Structure 1
Amino acid sequence: MLIVMGHVQVAPSATEEFAADIQALAQSVRRREGNLSYAVAVEDPSAGRLLVAERWRDQASLSAHLDAPDTRAFVGKWQGRMAGDIRKYDAANERSLMDG
């Protein structure tokens, strides 16, 4: 499993538009083969800061998502208007929070 986590930064005045666009994209992303979860939340609207959290079955699923037409259209619209630090992590030992 892959975990994708990080922050995206947009101009505070664009936070509402960005959040609406990413939520619209999320509707199709959550139905993609290999998507285990996909969430974006506004962390600080006055700073234009959003939190991104995704889980993917494997690299092929994540790559297909990144190459999908709607993902590419979203990135094309916001490229140059967003910045971020989003990282990808390999997870090999998934268990519930309370397990040791």
Structure 2
Amino acid sequence: MLVALGRAAAAPGHRTRLVDAARAVTAATRSDDGCISYVFATDLDEPDVVVSVEVWRDQGALDAHMAHDRTREFLAAVSGLVTGEPVMSIHDVPDPA
């Protein structure tokens, strides 16, 4: 199982557009094969910081997600809505089942 953690800071005045883009990609992604969980949230101390927590069955499922047009469109849109580079880390963890 893979856990992908992300963090990005909304550019000034773009938080609402960033959140809207995250909502749209979330709704489409949660039904993807191999998607166990897909969540965006905001940092309680820094409301302009958006974090993501994704849980995928395996690398193949994550790769398929990254290949979707909607994912590529989301990433392209986000690049204009954030300050600096988003940070993402991927962790291979044992399946709890």
Matched to 1:59, the amino acid is Q
Matched residues, number: 93
Taking structure 2 as the reference length, what is the TM-score of the superposition?
0.86
2:45 is the counterpart of 1:53: no
What does residue 91 of structure 2 align with? 89
Q: 3-state SS of the aligned residue for 1:92?
A: coil
Task: Give 1 or 2 for the bigger CA radius of gyration.
Answer: 1
Select the structure with the greater relative contact order (CA < 8 A; seq sep ≥ 6).
2
* Aligned equivalents of 2:5, 2:78: Cα separation in 1: 19
Counterparts of 1:32-71 in structure 2, within 5 Å, are: 32-43=32-43, 44-45=46-47, 48-71=48-71
What SS does the corresponding residue of 1:31 show, helix, strand or coil?
Answer: coil
Partners of 2:95 and 2:78 lie apart in 1 by 35
Shift of residue 16, structure 1, vs aligned partner: 1.1
After superposition, the Cα gap between the structure-2 partners of 1:69 and 1:93, relative to the gap in structure 1 and judged at 3 Å, is closer
Q: 1:93 to 1:56 in 2, by over 3 A?
A: closer
Report the Cα offset of residue 6 of structure 1. Answer: 2.7
**Offset of 1:81 from its aligned partner?**
3.8
Q: What is the percentage of aligned positions where both structures have the same residue?
A: 27
Q: Provide the TM-score with structure 1 as the length reference.
A: 0.84
